């Protein structure tokens, strides 16, 4: 059993074949998410992109259906004004304000100049945060539990 790990987490780790520190150290990601910033003109429609820019409008949350929401705002990045949409993350409204510099990652829709965002960060990401490992997971486990 791994020291400092609770019983439930240890059980989940065991299901993944991780029973010692050695196993944990040799548990590599099965893929990596690339969060390197690239110029918008280089990115193809439908690709994942990370941009850094200034929030131009206050975020607005729209509710639709049952327990579904969309948070939207405008962002100035790479000399363009982009529409940013986060789905089912209304809590981000309190973390985003007009005039702030933010980093946004998500799927690029070139025709609409829109990003369907999946990740938000305040300020500019440092260069050592450009790649993020994605691990095999079970139950309620998250990537940060392993990483």
Same domain, 57 and 122: yes
Same domain, 51 and 73: yes
What is the per-residue pLDDT for 22?
86
121 in a domain, yes or no? yes
What is the per-residue pLDDT for 67?
87
Same domain, 44 and 108: yes
98 in a domain, yes or no? yes
- Rounded to 5 degrees, φ, ψ at 65 are 60, -160
What is the per-residue pLDDT for 85?
97
Q: Which of 31-40, 46-55, 56-65, 126-135 has the lowest mean pLDDT?
A: 126-135
Same domain, 24 and 41: no
* pLDDT surpassing 60 at residue 113: yes
Q: Which of 2-16, 32-46, 121-135 has the lowest mean pLDDT?
A: 121-135
24 in a domain, yes or no? yes
Q: Are 96 and 59 in contact (CB under 8 A)?
A: yes
Residues 107 and 24: their CA atoms lie apart, in Å, by 32
Give me the number of domains the chain comprises: 2
Domain containing 106: what range?
36-128
DSSP H helical ranges for the chain: 7-15, 21-25, 143-146
- For 45, the 3-state DSSP assignment is coil
Same domain, 93 and 142: no
Same domain, 16 and 41: no
Same domain, 25 and 62: no
What is the per-residue pLDDT for 130?
75
Residues 123 and 111: their CA atoms lie apart, in Å, by 27
43 in a domain, yes or no? yes
Average pLDDT of the chain, as a whole number: 85
Residues 7 and 123: their CA atoms lie apart, in Å, by 37
Same domain, 56 and 114: yes
Mean pLDDT on 32-45: 84
- For 36, the 3-state DSSP assignment is coil
58 in a domain, yes or no? yes
The CATH number given to whatever domain includes residue 42 is 2.40.50.140
Residues 111 and 89: their CA atoms lie apart, in Å, by 24
What is the per-residue pLDDT for 1?
53
What is the per-residue pLDDT for 62?
94
What is the per-residue pLDDT for 129?
62
Q: Which residues pair with 107 in a beta bridge?
A: 48, 116
2 in a domain, yes or no? no
């Amino acid at each position: 059993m791994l020291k400092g790990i609770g019983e439930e987490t240890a059980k989940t780790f065991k299901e993944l074949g991780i029973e010692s520190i050695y196993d944990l150290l040799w548990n590599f990601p099965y893929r990596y998410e690339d969060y390197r910033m690239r110029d918008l003109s280089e990115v193809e429609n439908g690709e994942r992109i990370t941009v850094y820019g200034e929030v131009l409008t206050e975020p607005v949350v729209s509710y639709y259906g049952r327990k579904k929401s969309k948070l939207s705002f405008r962002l100035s990045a790479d000399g363009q004004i982009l529409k940013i949409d986060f789905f089912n993350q209304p809590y981000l409204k309190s973390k985003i304000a007009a005039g702030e510099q933010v980093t946004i990652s998500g799927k690029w829709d070139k025709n609409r100049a829109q990003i369907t965002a999946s990740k938000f960060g305040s300020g500019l990401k440092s260069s050592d945060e450009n790649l993020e490992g994605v691990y095999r997971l079970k139950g309620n486990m998250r990537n940060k539990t392993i990483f």
